[in-house]
């Protein structure tokens, strides 16, 4: 299972899996897949449920987009090093709500690695009292890249970077998108958060009870 | 295993290099001969130098007078009261780099210290040291130093200043490195010798002709290093033109890097950037053209009084 999962994530940037009955805790599922990432001040398992804009604080996506479509993004793009992987696990399914995925490698091909590397950004708000200058693209070993993107939580850190931001916005409107439906309890999706941009389609009224558990992973079993 | 991290260490290679790039972009937003260009360049260079040292280890940046600085550099949070991390002086950074990086020469170290000295003078005194330096006097060494520092970080000039400016920087470095270019001074001396043998009347006539010629021809007017007549340098643009609208007029400015020099009074010609650099004629220059707005926006349409083309209706 783990080997297959790792191969899928390396090849496509994500993997779809069945995680078993939901009475098995999501932490147990995650531990079987890899090492759980514990973030300061955040519970290991975060429950994602649709919320109206008026019912949500402005520091989360629901506070900005409500039950509308969530734009493509990297989770915690405003952190210096965002979580490596995320596991989404369906607890209450919705057939008409999908997780959107776009491959960041295609963004690199479209706009060029050099231009993206030179694009500087900052968190829109201070993180631990500072707004560090970050890059959209980091060069990893073996010619691989680490991509980050968020249209809400980060802002361009220079005039030239603002131009690339605009280009990315335009590119994303035409990017090839994969949609995954976590429609049945136990449906799971592991996403490489350093490669894939993800989002959510709008939630129609009849699907407001959708519930997804999310958990971050530092590594997948069998991977580096 | 890779745990998420909220912020980079402020003395990390990544944090320092990203900020250096931001300053370099600010530098490039100003004209090359302006004090702002030189000022922002000095800020970028300091961060670049510190990034290069941080690549070896952020611990090298810690001021050794207080062990808490080293503790902080190693990624810990000192508990000392009123602690504010203090790093070593930039002159010490350059000295360390000169010892550590094989390509970082004593000349680069000296340049860095002088450039930082000007920066400090700019910031902490009423004098204006960056107003009185021509870019040709420091920019090639600046880019040479930056190139070495960036190479130690596995980066290139392009990653700091972008592809267009990196091309200019490479040309400036090549020109500065071309020792044979200094031979041009002999050519100038030969023209000077011939010039002084002319009668004052001949010299005056030739100088008037040269002034007239330099006014009519395209290029940037300079003083001939051999005969002091008006002469011209011409070159290639180093940045796209920028237009500003003022009333009914549009002013278009564009910066050029010289590649040729000519003086019609004494006949001196110089055809290489490296030679121009050797005699102080390699400063970028600004070309300014003022257009009437109507003229600027006039379309190049030979049938502008007719309806648009439309086969047969």
DSSP-derived secondary structure letter, A131? -
Q: What string of DSSP letters covers B103-117?
A: T--HHHHHHHHHHHH
Choose, out of A112, A138, A160, A215, the residue to mutate when testing the contact with B (most B CBs < 10 Å).
Answer: A160
- State how far the Cα of B224 lies from the Cα of B209, in Å rounded to an integer: 14
The answer to whether B167 contacts chain A (CB < 8 Å) is no
**Alpha-carbon gap: B118 to the closest alpha carbon of chain A (Å):** 26
What value does the mean pLDDT take over residues B225-242?
89
Token pair listed for B276: 């121009």
* Gyration radius from chain B CA atoms: 26
pTM of the model: 0.81
Residue A43: CA atoms inside 13 Å, Cβ hemisphere, count? 8
In the predicted structure, residue A224 carries a pLDDT above the cut 60: no
Nearest to B272 by CA among B207, B182, B190, B191: B182
What pLDDT score was predicted for residue B240?
Answer: 79
What pLDDT score was predicted for residue B210?
Answer: 94
Decide: residue A162, CB within 10 A, 0-12 exposed, 13-18 middle, 19+ buried.
middle
Cross-chain residue pair A114–B163, CB shorter than 8 Å: yes
Residues 76-95 of A with CB under 8 A from B: 76, 79-84
- What is the ipTM, given to two decimal places? 0.89
Spell out the residues 6+ positions from residue A58 whose beta carbon is closer than 8 angstroms to its own: A64
The answer to which of A53-57, A63-67, B129-133, B272-276 has the lowest mean pLDDT is B272-276
What value does the mean pLDDT take over residues B172-197?
87
Nearest to B22 by CA among A136, A126, A152, A159: A159
Residue B296: CA atoms inside 13 Å, Cβ hemisphere, count? 14
Cross-chain residue pair B18–A133, CB shorter than 8 Å: yes
Nearest to A89 by CA among A33, A9, A147, A169: A33
| % of chain B at pLDDT higher than 90 | 66
In the predicted structure, residue B300 carries a pLDDT above the cut 70: no
Average pLDDT of chain A, as a whole number: 94
Spell out the residues 6+ positions from residue A164 whose beta carbon is closer than 8 angstroms to its own: A111, A115, A116, A118, A119, A136, A156
The partner residue sitting opposite A134, judged by closest CB among B18, B26, B158, is B18
- State how far the Cα of A67 lies from the Cα of A203, in Å rounded to an integer: 5
**Alpha-carbon gap: A191 to the closest alpha carbon of chain B (Å):** 15
**Alpha-carbon gap: A207 to the closest alpha carbon of chain B (Å):** 32
In the predicted structure, residue B182 carries a pLDDT above the cut 90: no
| % of chain B at pLDDT higher than 70 | 94
Cross-chain residue pair B6–A40, CB shorter than 8 Å: yes
């Amino acid at each position: 299972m783990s080997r297959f999962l790792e191969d899928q994530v390396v090849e496509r940037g994500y993997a779809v899996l069945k995680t078993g009955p939901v009475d098995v805790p999501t932490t147990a599922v995650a531990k079987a897949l890899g090492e759980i990432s514990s973030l300061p001040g955040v519970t290991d398992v975060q429950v994602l449920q649709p919320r109206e804009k008026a019912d949500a604080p402005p520091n989360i996506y629901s506070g900005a987009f409500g039950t509308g479509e969530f734009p493509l993004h990297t989770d915690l793009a405003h952190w210096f090093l965002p979580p490596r992987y995320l596991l989404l696990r369906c607890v209450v399914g919705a057939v008409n709500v999908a997780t959107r995925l776009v491959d960041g490698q295609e963004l690199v091909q479209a706009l060029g690695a050099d231009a993206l590397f030179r694009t500087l950004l900052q968190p829109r708000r201070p993180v631990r009292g500072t707004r560090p200058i970050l890059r959209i693209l980091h060069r990893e070993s073996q010619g691989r890249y680490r991509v980050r993107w968020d249209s809400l939580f980060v802002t361009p850190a220079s005039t030239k970077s603002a131009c690339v931001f605009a280009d990315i916005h335009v590119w994303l409107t035409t990017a090839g998108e994969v949609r995954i439906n976590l429609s049945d309890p136990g449906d799971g999706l592991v996403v490489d958060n350093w490669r894939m941009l993800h989002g959510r389609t709008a939630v129609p009224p009849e699907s407001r009870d959708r519930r997804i558990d999310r958990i971050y992973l530092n590594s997948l079993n069998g991977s580096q | 295993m890779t745990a998420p991290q909220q912020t980079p260490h402020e003395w990390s290679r990544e944090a320092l290099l990203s900020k250096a790039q931001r300053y370099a972009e600010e530098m490039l937003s100003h004209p090359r001969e302006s004090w702002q260009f030189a000022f922002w360049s000095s800020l970028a260079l300091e961060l670049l130098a510190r990034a290069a040292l941080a690549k070896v280890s952020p611990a090298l940046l810690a001021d050794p007078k207080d062990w808490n600085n080293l503790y902080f550099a190693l990624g810990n949070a000192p508990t000392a009261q009123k602690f504010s991390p203090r790093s070593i002086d930039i002159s010490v950074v350059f000295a360390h780099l000169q010892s550590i990086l094989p390509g970082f020469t004593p000349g680069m170290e000296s340049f860095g210290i002088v450039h930082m000295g000007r920066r400090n003078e700019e910031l902490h005194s009423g004098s204006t040291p960056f107003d009185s330096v021509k870019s040709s006097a420091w920019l090639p060494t600046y880019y040479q130093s930056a190139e070495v520092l960036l190479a130690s970080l596995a980066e290139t000039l392009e990653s700091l200043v972008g592809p267009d400016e990196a091309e200019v920087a490479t040309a400036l470095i090549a020109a500065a490195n071309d020792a044979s270019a200094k031979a041009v001074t002999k050519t100038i001396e030969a023209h000077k010798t011939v010039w002084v043998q002319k009668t004052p009347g001949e010299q005056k006539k030739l100088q008037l002709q040269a002034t007239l010629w330099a006014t009519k021809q395209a290029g940037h007017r300079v003083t001939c290093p051999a005969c002091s007549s008006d002469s011209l340098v011409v070159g290639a643009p180093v940045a796209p033109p920028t237009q500003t609208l003022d009333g009914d007029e549009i002013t278009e400015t564009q910066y050029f890097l010289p590649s040729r020099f000519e003086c019609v009074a004494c006949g001196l010609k110089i055809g290489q950037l490296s030679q121009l650099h050797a005699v102080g004629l390699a400063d970028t220059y600004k070309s300014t053209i003022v257009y009437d707005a109507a003229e600027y926006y006039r379309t190049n349409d030979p049938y502008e009084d007719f309806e648009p083309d439309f086969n047969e209706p």
